Amino acid sequence: MDNIGKILVVDDEADILEFISYNLKKEGYEVYTALNGKEALPIAKKTKPDLILLDVMMPVMDGIETCKRIKADSDFDQTYVVFLTARSEDYSEIEGLDAGADDYIAKPIKPKVLITRLNAILRRKIKEMAAPSIKVKDLFIDRESFLIYRGEQKIALARKEFELLFLLASKPGKVFTRENILEKVWGDEVLVVDRTIDVHIRKIREKLGDEYIGTVKGVGYKFEV
């Protein structure tokens, strides 16, 4: 299991803390914990987590206050904050998002849901931080503009087409299985038939030519080198 990121979990109930911590570790995350906001800040400073999971209702320093302080600190520009809120207190949802939280998850927590959401959030983050452009063969694949440059020629791809090409081009020569592609381009909550990929491949080939994407029958697709 690959190490995808660091997460700081903050909750005043020790058993919930352990429960979440256990599930995240299982998933391959590096997990830190704190029992309240006051405790959390210095830990966050030191460990620079990718994401902070923050209970709203806490003694000493509640989640909203903590979130505001975190968001005010430029050290944490790259840090996502996700609130844990009891289902009833939906008001805090709004207030929380006002405080700068990037998302929220309702208690009671189901491991599958938790993992799925966090994976999605962090995948988004990783994507944002990923190299903004790739140069392969005669192509310049540019995230900034979502355009493919071939010499002077500019070629526009639709978002999914772009993401798919970007993925393949990120490791030229490597074969990506359909499973692989669905997971990385579509995400966990995949609700598409894998044949959809074929159609996107077709459109990319139509726009760029057949020489870039190769088929490995029974396995998947790859960027030809």
**Which residues lie near DNA (CB under 7 A)?**
156, 158-161, 178, 186, 191-193, 195-196, 198-202, 205, 215-220
Residue 137 binding a second copy, by CB under 8 A: no
Task: List the one residue out of 188, 185, 223, 179 whose CA is nearest residue 204.
Answer: 223
Residue 145 binding a second copy, by CB under 8 A: yes
Nearer to DNA, 25 or 205 (CB): 205
The piece of 37-45, 53-61, 142-150, 187-195 that touches a second copy (CB under 8 A) is 142-150
Nearer to a second copy, 112 or 150 (CB): 112
| Alpha carbons 113 and 92: distance in angstroms, whole number | 20
Q: Tell me which of 3, 15, 108, 159 binds a second copy, using CB under 8 A.
A: 159
Residue 72 interacting entry, from DNA, a second copy, none, C-beta within 5 to 8 Å by type: a second copy
Residue 98 binding a second copy, by CB under 8 A: yes
| Alpha carbons 101 and 67: distance in angstroms, whole number | 7
Q: Between the CA of residue 22 and those of 7, 18, 70, 206, what are the distances in Å?
A: 12, 6, 25, 47
Q: Which residue has the tokens 């352990």?
A: 18
Contacts with 2 (C-beta within 8 Å, 6 or more apart), sequence order: 28
Q: Could you give the 3-state DSSP secondary structure of residue 144?
A: coil
Contacts with 196 (C-beta within 8 Å, 6 or more apart), sequence order: none
Query: What distance lies between CA 184 and its chain's CA centroid?
Result: 10
Nearer to DNA, 31 or 185 (CB): 185
Q: Could you give the 3-state DSSP secondary structure of residue 155?
A: strand
Residue 78 interacting entry, from a second copy, DNA, none, C-beta within 5 to 8 Å by type: none
Please answer whether residues 30 and 5 qualify as being in contact, where contact means their C-beta atoms are separated by less than 8 angstroms.
Answer: yes
Nearer to DNA, 63 or 220 (CB): 220
In whole angstroms, the minimum distance from the beta carbon of 62 to a second copy comes to: 17
Q: Between the CA of residue 23 and those of 16, 86, 99, 116, 182, what are the distances in Å?
A: 11, 19, 27, 11, 24
Nearer to DNA, 87 or 195 (CB): 195
Tokens of 114: 């938790």
Nearer to a second copy, 3 or 88 (CB): 3
In the region spanning residues 176 to 215, those forming contacts with a second copy, defined by CB under 8 A, are none
Residue 150 binding a second copy, by CB under 8 A: no
Binding-site ranges for a second copy (CB under 8 A): 1, 22, 25-26, 68, 71-72, 77, 98, 100, 111-112, 144-146, 158-159, 171, 173-175, 216-219, 222
